[in-house]
Structure 1
């Protein structure tokens, strides 16, 4: 049986990020800052671009929500994604 994952994870870097980091609850201040920086850089860019480069542009509601997704504050994996159920167990 093949695993289904969220539709945006199409490239090797995105797949690795999706499967190992995105949505996993964080409890480390340095990692939180790293994710906040990545979300700032992501604004208006594809994730593939962000995963290849790092930067900080601005913080607003969209970036804050994306940060909450990335750090596991909300579980926005598709219900059909294998990570959705796995991450429910970590809360």
Structure 2
């Protein structure tokens, strides 16, 4: 009989969370478009649970043209109103408008730095920070680095990128490895 893998305690809720944990969370991500999608979705989570957003992720991808920033940056009032009628996403005007603004800012950052990856990973010196995590109480909700990232993103025009959102983004994108020390993914 195969022994069950030891995982971080937060992901044991169901198979969707386990798959997200095993295949994505904490794995260093360097694809600009996927980083942009993830940052948008982390912002959509504000005030909600990640589980809610993860359940709606495919709907978000469909509604926002696969997170194609060039298309999103051109969304006008008609498209925004249509998005606000889409029951498959969180229908919050501020968050929908933020996605459009964030697309414009993301494109400007790509132009300035050559890639969003180069820009965003500079906050951790280009390599993941590996934290000691015995239990969930060892995991911060924000750090000086997420504070700096948030401040810079906000200054550039991003919305819904507070320090806590930035730290969750850093964890999800593998910029920070906060897997529990006994989790199979820690290595």
Common topology (TM > 0.5)? yes
How many positions carry a matched residue from both structures? 85
1:69 to 150, 171, 174: 171
SS in structure 1 opposite 2:10? coil
Structure having greater relative contact order (Cα 8 Å, sep ≥ 6)? 1
Structure 1 segment 14-53 matched on structure 2, within 5 A: 14-53=17-56
Residue 5 (structure 1) shift: 0.6
Report the structure number with the largest CA radius of gyration. 2
- TM-score normalised per structure 2: 0.43
Give the match for residue 89 of structure 1.
none
SS in structure 1 opposite 2:22? helix
Residue 47 (structure 1) shift: 2.2
Distance 2:178 2:27 in 1: 11
Q: Deviations over 1:64-87 (max 9, x none)?
A: 1111100011100111111111xx
Q: Which runs of 5+ in 2 are unaligned?
A: 61-89, 99-159
SS in structure 2 opposite 1:82? coil
2:182 to 71, 80, 87: 80
Give the match for residue 60 of structure 1.
162
CA RMSD of the aligned region, Å?
1.5
Give the match for residue 88 of structure 1.
none
